[in-house]
Amino acid sequence: MNIYLDHSATTPVRAEVVEAMLPYLGEFYGNPSSIHRTGRKAHAGLDAARRTIAQILGAKTGEIIFTGCGSESDNAALRGIALARREQSGANRIVTTPVEHKAVLETAIDLRDHYGFELTILPVDGDGQLDPTAVEAVLDDDVAVVSVMHANNEVGTILPIGEIGALCRVRRIPFHTDAVQAVGRLPIHVDELQVDALSATAHKFYGPKGVGFLYLRQGTPFHSVLTGGSHENSRRAGTENVPGIVAMAKALALAEAEREAEMARLQILRDRLIGDILKAVDGAQLTGSPNHRLANHASFVVDGVEAEGMLIALDLAGIAASSGSACTSAAQQPSHVLEAMGVPSRLAVGGLRLSLGRSNTPEQIDYVLEKLPRIVAQIRGMMPVAL
Ligand SMILES: Cc1ncc(COP(=O)(O)O)c(C=O)c1O
């Protein structure tokens, strides 16, 4: 039994995607910057991938910068825009939220601690939701960049990016969104979202790891973070990962073509998971927004149960789940997202995230619903009774 319910951490690479990238690991091995035919073949693959991604996003091809991962895209957006904006206009403040992925939060903190930026971290409510009027209240000429994630990786909440984008747009303040969890799961059109920069990574939509992209609207102030050669129009030095990029474009095209039908299918499974777990597991509470949440995402805290024991027991039963974020789970620290949402630490240690994807079937959900309540009961039986 192997039921994979950790698609927010990563997804398996689709067979069609492997097939698309193979020629670029073999016969089309050239350096895309080379002038000769071998190089031009690789360059053609790069061009085609850029066109595919730009077209899906409603962007211009020159607005797509290939990167090494979602974290790099986030770093490039925050550092690249904040530094360039300050140079241009003196704006010195970064505005973000406490529920961002660490790739955004730690970058913002680094820019504060080592580059002299001011940092405003806006509060979120108990669902992890951000009120656009709270953003509006802090927007002024001193704001260099605003960064708000599209969908949260730990609790699945979808944030009102279009509304926040519109508020930034009228004040001509660059707006970045970390759309790593949203791409392939939500409609992504850069003009409708009113974003100036958007981060994505292939491994969340059935592409390979180690490749991502940053959408950067034409005219957005930007200072390259990776310096060297003039790759990516001098916005990201380094020979491009051609096989990975070709694979990413293929994965995105497939995900986009199937998105509506697949998300409708997953939402039914997700709603069963949520409804039945809340009924069958005593002390389980949903985390994140009940209504504005990713169709593939179910997350909970379970009172009186530590995540680690629950995850090990689930793994032994053939179910791969997570406590929230794969990036911090090894660190055994309370989730900064749950903390920001006001979840008491007693509950926050019992985080459980079940994130669905292409391989999941109704029968698998039946199996999880049969196993999980028993596992929780077993763990509770083993734990000392609180006095
Ligand atoms: C919301 C969010 N942003 C950024 C990242 C980082 O992406 P990558 O693993 O490609 O660096 C992740 C990955 O978990 C994520 O969920």
**Does 234 fall in a domain?**
yes
Instruction: Check whether residue 163 and residue 45 sit in a common domain.
Output: yes
Residue that terminates a domain, selected from 233, 254, 275: 254
Instruction: Check whether residue 131 and residue 188 sit in a common domain.
Output: yes
Instruction: Check whether residue 96 and residue 233 sit in a common domain.
Output: yes
Tell me the one-letter amino acid at 278.
L
- Respond yes or no: is residue 327 known to be catalytic: yes
Instruction: Check whether residue 178 and residue 275 sit in a common domain.
Output: no
**Does 247 fall in a domain?**
yes
Q: Which of 75, 96, 158, 204 to mutate to test the pocket of ligand 1 (most atoms within 8 A of CB)?
A: 204
Q: How many domains does the chain have?
A: 2
**Does 387 fall in a domain?**
no
Give the CATH number for residue 159.
3.40.640.10
Distance 305 CA to ligand 1 centre (A): 27
Write the CA distances from 261 to 127, 270, 365, integer angstroms: 27, 14, 19
Distance 153 CA to ligand 1 centre (A): 8
- The closest alpha carbon to 97, from 168, 147, 24, belongs to 147
**Does 72 fall in a domain?**
yes
Instruction: Check whether residue 244 and residue 342 sit in a common domain.
Output: no
326 Cα nearest atom in ligand 1: 14
Q: Which residues line ligand 1 (CB under 6 A)?
A: 69-71, 74, 101, 103, 149, 153, 178, 180-181, 201, 212, 327
Q: Under 8 Å CB-to-CB from 100, ≥6 apart: which residues?
A: 108, 147, 148, 149, 178
Residue that terminates a domain, selected from 209, 224, 254: 254
Pairwise CA distance, residues 341 & 293, whole Å: 15
Instruction: Check whether residue 186 and residue 110 sit in a common domain.
Output: yes
Residue that terminates a domain, selected from 231, 254, 277: 254
Instruction: Check whether residue 42 and residue 138 sit in a common domain.
Output: yes
Instruction: Check whether residue 184 and residue 306 sit in a common domain.
Output: no
Instruction: Check whether residue 250 and residue 271 sit in a common domain.
Output: no
Q: Show pLDDT as tens, one digit a residue, over the chain (387 residues).
A: 899 999 999 999 999 999 999 999 999 999 999 999 999 999 999 999 999 999 999 999 999 999 999 999 999 999 999 999 999 999 999 999 999 999 999 999 999 999 999 999 999 999 999 999 999 999 999 999 999 999 999 999 999 999 999 999 999 999 999 999 999 999 999 999 999 999 999 999 999 999 999 999 999 999 999 999 999 999 999 999 999 999 999 999 999 999 999 999 999 999 999 999 999 999 999 999 999 999 999 999 999 899 999 999 999 999 999 998 554 445 567 899 999 999 999 999 999 999 999 999 999 999 999 999 999 999 988 655 444
Q: Under 8 Å CB-to-CB from 130, ≥6 apart: which residues?
A: 97, 99, 122, 124, 148, 159, 160, 164
Domain housing 118: 15-254
Residue-by-residue DSSP string for 313-346: HHHHTTEE-BSS-HHHHTTTPPPHHHHHTT--HH
Instruction: Check whether residue 250 and residue 263 sit in a common domain.
Output: no
Question: Which residue in the list 12, 327, 362, 370 is annotated as catalytic?
Answer: 327
Give the CATH number for residue 316.
3.90.1150.10
- The DSSP bridge partners found for residue 157 are 293
